[in-house]
Structure 1
Amino acid sequence: MTTATDAETPPATDPVSQDGGNAPRGAVVLSGVTKLYGDQLAVDDLSLTIQPGEFISLLGPSGCGKTTTLRMIAGFEHPDAGDILISGRSVLNAPPYRRDVNTVFQAYALFPHMSVAENVAYGLQQRRTPKSEIRDRVTQALDLVQMRRFGDRRPAQLSGGQQQRIALARALVNRPSVLLLDEPLGALDRQLREEMQLELKLLQSRLGITFVFVTHDQGEALSMSDRIAIMRAGRIEQLADADTVYARPASAYVAAFVGQQNFFRGAVTESGAAVSSTHALVRGTAPVLVNAAQGEAAVRPEYVRIEKDPQAGSATASTDLNAARGELIGVAHLGDTMQYLVRLGDDQSLIVRRPTPDAPALTVGDPVLCTWAAHHVLLFPADDAAQEGGYVAPPTE
C-alpha cells in the first residue's frame, strides 16, 4: 500500500487548518464535482456529504468513477467543476500534503531498505517532527495494528497481511482526519481479506476517523460500511446503509450488483404488480415500476424453495406465491449452503440457495418445482445495465 506521504515530500508545514469553521473535523463534502479525461466523463456532477467518523464505501464496477472520486478528495486529481470541502474548508487549491488526509492504496510500496519502524516514521520525519515525538507516535501506530514487535524487521521479512498493517500504521501515524482506502485488500487471499475486513472496522471504530473505502467487492462494502454509495457512470445510483441497499435496492442495476439475483424480464401486467415472462408470471408486492411496458422481476437465490416436482405440467402463481418448473442441471456444495441450478427453458435458468442442513437431496436431471413468495420479489423497469451487476440467470445450453 502507498500512503499520501509517499507521493511527494511536503515542506515542514502543518496540514490545512483543522478547525474548519463550523464544520467538525473529518467531515467531507463534494458539491457538483465533475471530472473529464479528454471527452470521457469520469465523474458527473457528483454531490456527497460524508459525516465525521463515518465508514463509507464507494462501490461499483471498473470505470464507474469511484477511484477518480477518491483521488480528487486526496488531491491527486483536480475536478473540472464543483468543490470539495474537508473539515469545512475548500481544498481545491491545496496539494495532497496539505489536506489532513492520508491515502492507502492496494500496492504496499514500503521502502525495502528501511525497517518497519523507519517506514512508519518517514512521514513524520519529512514534517520535521521532534525525534522524541516520532518515537512515541510510531510506537502508538504500531500498537494500533498489533505490529510493535516487528518494528526492527524489513518489509521483505513480513507476510502480505503484515505489510498491509504497516502501510496502515504509516497512514495513521500522521493522525489524519480522513483515511482514504483504494482497494486496500485486493492483493490478499480470501481468508486474510475477510480477517482484515474485521480488523479495519474495529480499528475505525476505535479511532473514530472518517474512512472512505473504494472497492468493487460487495462483500467488503456490506460487512464494513455505515453507508454504501453504489456508483454508475460517474454518478451515485443509491446511497444507503447495507441493509437498505441489499433489501430495498433503488434500481435493477443496484439489485444486480449487490448480492445475487434471478431476473425475469417480460411484459408488465395491467396492475403493475407482476412481470409476465416466457417461463413464469412473477408477482411482487412492492412494485417500483413506473410507466413501464417492459419490466424485470428479481428474486434472490436464498428466497427460493426447491423440491422434486410432484407432478409434471405447468405451474401457476397464486396471489402470494410464485412458481416455476424445470430440470435440475447443477448442484454445488458451498459449505453452509447448497446451490442448485435449474433450467427453466431454452433461454433462462434459475439459481437457488438453501441452508445445508435443510437442503433437499436432489440429483442432476431431476424435475423440480421452485417457489418463492411475492413479498420477496422486486419489480423494476427493464434496465440493460442490470447485466453489469451480480448474478443474472444465464441462458442454458
Structure 2
Amino acid sequence: MTSAATTEATAGARAAIPEAAGTVLLDGVTKRYGQATAVDRMSLTVQPGEFISLLGPSGCGKTTTLRMIAGFEHPDAGDIRVSGRSVLGVPPYRRDVNTVFQAYALFPHMSVAENVAYGLQQHRASKAAIREQVVEALDLVQMRRFADRKPTQLSGGQQQRVALARALVNRPAVLLLDEPLGALDRQLREEMQLELKLLQSRLGITFVFVTHDQGEALSMSDRVAIMRDGRIEQLADADTIYARPVSAYVAAFVGQQNFFRGPVVEGGTAVDSPHALVRGIRAELADGLQGQAAVRPEFVSIAPDASEARADAAGPVNTARGTLIGVAHLGETMQYLVRLGEEQSLIVRRPTPDAPQLAVGDPVVASWSAERVLLFPADDAASAGGYVAPPTD
C-alpha cells in the first residue's frame, strides 16, 4: 500500500469514531483463509450518504471486504463499525445493512411483491405497513406494474430492479452491492449505472459498491478505493485516480497506459527508453534508477512519417516512430496500434472526426506533451491488467 493511500485511508478510520447513521468504518481489518491473506490490515472510513466503490482485479480482497461488512465473513483482526456501532459478532440480519448480489438471489416461487415483502415479514411488520412499503419500494425502481409476476417472467434488468427494491424496502443505512450489474449486457449495464447513481442521490443511503469494471466505478462513485493484495493502493475521487495515480499499478488498472521503460535521466524528469526519450515536467525519481514513463492513448497524437529515419528509431523528446499495424473504429474514437520495435507497441486513440486517414503498413510518428507524462519506478504494472508496452531488453 502506498504511503499516500495509507495516510488517507487510515487517518479517518483512527479519528474519533463517527456515530452518524450510514457511516462504515474498518480499522485494521485482516482476513485470512489458511495461509492466504485476503484482506491485510485494511482501514477505511465511508461517510454517511457516500457512494464508494472498491475496485480491483479478481483476488484483490474487495468481495471479502464487502462480505465482512455484511456479516457473511468474520475478520481475524481489527474492527468494523456501522453507524457508530461495532458489528463484530453481530449476525447479518441484525446489521443496518442490506446486500444486492450479482445473482440477485430472488425466490423463484414468489411473486415480485412477495420477494420484496420477505424481509419485512421476517421483521414481523404489520400487513398494512408491508403493503405500503412494498409499493413504495417498487415505485422507486419503476416495477410496481410487475408486482404479480414471478422472477422467471422478468428480464435480467427487471430482476436486478426487484433485487434492489428488496434490499431498499427496509431503508437500511448502508447498501452493499457485489457486482450487481455483471450479468447485464453492455447497454443495459450503462443504463443501470445512471439509475443507481440517481437512486442513491435521491435516497441519501450509503452505497458500498464492489466491481472490477473501472467504468462503473469511475462513473458512479464519490470516491474509489483501488485495491491490491488485500490493501488499498489509492483512495480518491475519480478525477484524481485517473489523472494522478500514485503508482504504476493504479495507472495501468484504470484506463490504459503506454509504458516506456529504461534508466531515469535528466535530474529525474525523464526515462530513456530504447524507442523514445520520455520527459515529464516534474522530477519524480533519482537518476540512474530503472523507471517507467506512462502516457495514456488519448494523449498521443499520430501522423504519417515522411522522414527518412528508420521506423524503429527514436525521434526527438516525447516522439516515437514506428509502423502502423492495426486500426479499429471504436465509435467516438479511432484506435491505432503502432509497432515501435520487435517487442514494443504503442496504442493511440483520437476523436473520430479529427482522426487521420492511415492504413496498416504506413510509417507513422507519434508524439505527446510532457504535461501528460507520469513517471514511476520500475514496477509490476502489468499485473494490474491495463495495457503495458512490453519491455525491450
Aligned partner of 2:198 in structure 1 is 202
Q: d(CA) in 2 for partners of 1:126 and 1:292?
A: 66
Query: Would the aligned equivalents of 2:104 and 2:163 in 1 still touch at CA under 8 Å?
Result: yes
Q: d(CA) in 2 for partners of 1:253 and 1:291?
A: 22
Aligned partner of 2:181 in structure 1 is 185
Which amino acid in structure 2 is aligned with residue 333 of structure 1? H
Q: d(CA) in 2 for partners of 1:158 and 1:152?
A: 11
Q: Secondary structure at the match of 1:25?
A: coil
Distance 1:291 1:83, change over 3 A: farther
Which amino acid in structure 2 is aligned with residue 221 of structure 1? A
1:319-343: CA deviation from partner (whole Å, max 9, x where unpaired): xxx1000000000000000000000
Q: Which sections of structure 2, spanning at least 5 residues, go unmatched?
A: 1-16
Distance 1:390 1:22, change over 3 A: closer
Which amino acid in structure 1 is aligned with residue 72 of structure 2? F
Aligned partner of 2:210 in structure 1 is 214
> 1:308-387 maps to which residues of 2 (within 5 A)?
308-313=304-309, 314-318=313-317, 322-387=318-383
Query: Would the aligned equivalents of 1:256 and 1:390 in 2 still touch at CA under 8 Å?
Result: yes
Q: d(CA) in 1 for partners of 2:283 and 2:52?
A: 29
Q: d(CA) in 2 for partners of 1:288 and 1:173?
A: 51
TM-score, normalising length: structure 2? 0.93
Match of 2:155 among 159, 166, 174: 159
**Shift in Å, 1:270:** 4.4
Query: Would the aligned equivalents of 2:211 and 2:217 in 1 still touch at CA under 8 Å?
Result: yes
Q: d(CA) in 1 for partners of 2:314 and 2:29?
A: 51
**Shift in Å, 1:288:** 3.2
Distance 1:105 1:246, change over 3 A: same
Q: Which sections of structure 1, spanning at least 5 residues, go unmatched?
A: 1-20
Q: d(CA) in 1 for partners of 2:231 and 2:271?
A: 28
Structure 1 residue 256 corresponds to structure 2 residue 252: yes
> 1:61-76 maps to which residues of 2 (within 5 A)?
61-76=57-72
> 1:100-111 maps to which residues of 2 (within 5 A)?
100-111=96-107
> 1:241-252 maps to which residues of 2 (within 5 A)?
241-252=237-248
Distance 1:208 1:252, change over 3 A: same
1:41-100: CA deviation from partner (whole Å, max 9, x where unpaired): 110000000000000000000000000000000011100000001111111021101111
**Shift in Å, 1:286:** 3.0
1:166-204: CA deviation from partner (whole Å, max 9, x where unpaired): 000000001100000001000001110000000000000
Structure 1 residue 144 corresponds to structure 2 residue 119: no
Query: Would the aligned equivalents of 2:315 and 2:321 in 1 still touch at CA under 8 Å?
Result: no
Distance 1:96 1:354, change over 3 A: same
Q: d(CA) in 1 for partners of 2:244 and 2:282?
A: 10
Which amino acid in structure 2 is aligned with residue 91 of structure 1? V
Which amino acid in structure 2 is aligned with residue 297 of structure 1? A
Aligned partner of 1:170 in structure 2 is 166
Query: Would the aligned equivalents of 1:287 and 1:380 in 2 still touch at CA under 8 Å?
Result: no
Runs ≥4 residues deviating over 2 A: 286-292, 314-318, 385-389, 393-396
**Shift in Å, 1:312:** 2.2
Q: d(CA) in 2 for partners of 1:25 and 1:160?
A: 32
**Shift in Å, 1:278:** 1.1
Q: d(CA) in 1 for partners of 2:49 and 2:308?
A: 58
Which amino acid in structure 2 is aligned with residue 35 of structure 1? K
Q: Secondary structure at the match of 1:326?
A: strand
Aligned partner of 1:5 in structure 2 is none
1:16-63: CA deviation from partner (whole Å, max 9, x where unpaired): xxxxx9611000110000001001011000000000000000000000
Query: Would the aligned equivalents of 1:104 and 1:168 in 2 still touch at CA under 8 Å?
Result: yes
Q: Percent identity?
A: 79
1:298-357: CA deviation from partner (whole Å, max 9, x where unpaired): 000000000000212144334xxx100000000000000000000000010000000000
Q: d(CA) in 2 for partners of 1:125 and 1:291?
A: 67
Q: Secondary structure at the match of 1:345?
A: coil
Q: d(CA) in 2 for partners of 1:290 and 1:37?
A: 40
How many residues are treated as equivalent by the alignment?
374
Query: Would the aligned equivalents of 1:302 and 1:353 in 2 still touch at CA under 8 Å?
Result: yes
Which amino acid in structure 1 is aligned with residue 213 of structure 2? D
Query: Would the aligned equivalents of 1:59 and 1:229 in 2 still touch at CA under 8 Å?
Result: yes
Structure 1 residue 296 corresponds to structure 2 residue 292: yes
**Shift in Å, 1:394:** 4.9
Which amino acid in structure 2 is aligned with residue 107 of structure 1? A
Deviates further, 255-264 or 288-297: 288-297
Aligned partner of 2:6 in structure 1 is none
- Aligned CA RMSD, in angstroms, stands at 1.5
> 1:45-124 maps to which residues of 2 (within 5 A)?
45-124=41-120
Which amino acid in structure 1 is aligned with residue 141 of structure 2? V
Aligned partner of 1:11 in structure 2 is none
